[in-house]
Amino acid sequence: APTTQLPLPLPVAAAAAPAGEVRELPVRRDPVAPMPVAAHTADDWFDRALALEEEDVEAAIDAYRRSLRLRPDATEAWINLGRLFAENGDAAAAAECFQTALKLDPNDATSLYNLGVVAQDGGREDEAVGLYSRALELDPQLAEAHYNLATIFDQSGDPQLAIRHINAYRKLTR
């Protein structure tokens, strides 16, 4: 089981969550009654996907895909789709989504962080350290990256770096 954490739906910013939890972000608006397919916009499909995530993951994945067919440059939809894949054990599909999001926005700390989670969960700690470090350069407030770095450094026998990152995590989550 993964030991790292992925942020929840974007694009709304949220405060860092305690270790072991993901960041929860509000749905953009209340789910609406189903509309004919021709009437759906990319935003409609995105909102529908957000609303479906808790009750029907496959339907949420389908809704994100439909949103992305209409707006393939929607970074937040790629990130959310990747997160669903990661949470459901498809690391390769998750990484592909996060890489696509990163191509669309090379300065997106969340995409870098999420790629770090996939790398760490896949046992590629050196790669994860690089990705988390790049994410922190872009967003020093990304508490989860500090936590995951502390975990890696603790497990690899570097207590000084582990302490540095756990202290940064604690400071950010007070």
- Domain positions in the chain are 42-106
Per-residue pLDDT of the chain (174 residues; tens, 9 = 90+): 444 545 534 332 333 333 333 333 333 444 444 544 544 899 999 999 999 999 999 999 999 999 999 999 999 999 999 999 999 999 999 999 999 999 999 999 999 999 999 999 999 999 999 999 999 999 999 999 999 999 999 999 999 999 999 999 999 999
Q: Determine the pLDDT at residue 40.
A: 82
Name every residue whose Cβ is closer than 8 Å to that of residue 33 and which is 6 or more positions away in sequence.
Answer: none
What is 42-106's CATH superfamily?
Tetratricopeptide repeat domain (1.25.40.10)
Could you count the other beta carbons within 10 Å of the beta carbon of residue 159? Answer: 11
Tokens of 171: 């400071």
Tokens of 123: 């046992």
Q: Determine the pLDDT at residue 6.
A: 52
Q: Determine the pLDDT at residue 29.
A: 43
Q: In angstroms, rounded to a whole number, what is the distance separating the alpha carbons of residues 108 and 53? A: 23
Helices (H), the chain: 42-52, 57-70, 75-87, 91-104, 109-121, 125-138, 143-155, 159-172
Q: Output the pTM of the full model.
A: 0.78
Pick from 72, 84, 139: nearest CA to 112: 139
Q: Determine the pLDDT at residue 70.
A: 95
